[in-house]
Structure 1
Amino acid sequence: MKELIETFYTALNNRDANTMISCYHEDIIFIDPAFGELKSDRAKNMWRMLCKNGKDLKIAFSQVEADENTGKAHWEAWYTFSKTGRPVHNKIDAQFEFMDGKIIKHIDHFSLHRWASQAMGWKGNLLGGTGFFKKKLIQQTNRMLDKFIASRS
């Protein structure tokens, strides 16, 4: 399963959403601070959207560990936040659960406050640690995902 995680992140660095999605189980559950919980096709389409829109996305991964049931990795992403043009360096710890040789659950943990401070400057620094900000961000990212999905139809 360690190779599955490595394949997933190598594909992300190459912005190859199809290979990433091939690592996911049909019933994938993805959770992170920016999108909340996404299931199945919504989770897969999030990666399609991020790979398509992440023109300058670069990632590095390390500390990959896995057995037959669970895994974890540390990964870092560098990109320009499109709404502000500000550079972001996000540090993420991922947890995985596996079923039928695929990733069935993927949880990314990162400091939303740190991310918001980089992506949005002083406003993100001021508000990025609040529940209000997290709720609004999840609403906004999911609306963006809805538009992306609608454009694929």
Structure 2
Amino acid sequence: MKNVIEKFYEAFNNKDAKTMISFYNDDIVFKDPAFGTLKGEQAKNMWLMLCQSQKNNDFKVTVSNIKYAKNEATAQWEAFYIFSKTGRKVHNKINGHFIFKDNTIISHIDDFNLHKWAKQALGFKGWLLGGTSFFKDKLQKQTNTLLKTFEKNQR
């Protein structure tokens, strides 16, 4: 179990989704402000989609402050990338919480300030609306639609 989180984020930095999802249990439950709750294959496919979408060299992921307990871990990680819809630079700071079962990640919760992210990714519109539940709901609808389209195209 030790070093799983380091390897997970090292793979993400290398845009290696297949290695990332190899650490996930088949019954994984993932949750974050942008996608909401994703289970099983949907959670795995999200990482495939995100890694494939990062085509430029401006993408970077770092991880720090990893703490392991009996069957769980926490980590602080940062993502640096260009938001494709606007061409704006994003530096997102995320707190991750992981629960392990059978030496795999069964639960992964990422928490970040959605309003800060929206200001960076969308500019004025994000500053204005990014802190609202309306924005969060609309974003989750959009990201889940993108994920469903991605999954259809993978078949």
Instruction: Give the SS at the match of 1:84.
Output: coil
Match of 1:151 among 147, 150, 153: 153
Alignment of 1:60 onto 2:62: yes
Q: Supply the distance in 1 between the matched residues of 2:88 and 2:34 (Cα, whole angstroms).
A: 17
2:108 match = 106
2:83 matches 1:51: no
Matched, 1:11 2:4: no
8 Å contact 1:94–1:107 — kept in the other structure? yes
Find 1:76's aligned residue among 75, 78, 85. 78
Q: Which AA in structure 1 matches 2:86? A: T
Identity %: 58
Deviations, residues 73-99 of structure 1 (Å, cap 9, x unaligned): 000000000000000000000000000
CA contact (8 A) 1:2 1:64 kept: no
Q: What RMSD in Å do the two structures reach over aligned CA positions?
A: 0.7
| TM-score calculated relative to the size of structure 2 | 0.97
Name the CA distance, whole Å, in 2 between partners of 1:19 and 1:60: 16
Gaps of 5+ in 2: none
Q: Which residue of 2 aligns with 1:35?
A: 35
Q: Secondary structure at the match of 1:83?
A: coil
- Does structure 2 retain, via aligned residues, the 8 Å contact 1:65–1:72? yes
Q: What is the TM-score of this pair, normalised by structure 1? A: 0.98
Q: Give 1:78-97 correspondences, 5 Å limit.
A: 78-97=80-99
Q: Secondary structure at the match of 2:3?
A: helix
Superposition misfits of 4+ residues, deviation over 6 angstroms: none
**1:51 alignment partner AA:** C
Letter in 2 for 1:42: Q
Task: Please state how far the C-alpha of 1:54 moved relative to its aligned partner.
Answer: 1.4
Q: How does 1:126-141 map to 2 (within 5 A)?
A: 126-141=128-143
**Aligned counterpart for 2:123 among listed residues 114, 121, 124:** 121
Which consecutive unaligned segments of at least 5 residues does structure 1 have?
A: none
Query: What is the DSSP-based 3-state SS (H/G/I as helix, E as strand, rest coil) of the residue aligned with 2:110?
Result: strand
Residue 68 of structure 1 deviates from its aligned partner by 3.1
1:31-65 superposed Cα distances (whole Å, 9 cap, x missing partner) = 00000000000000000000000123201100011
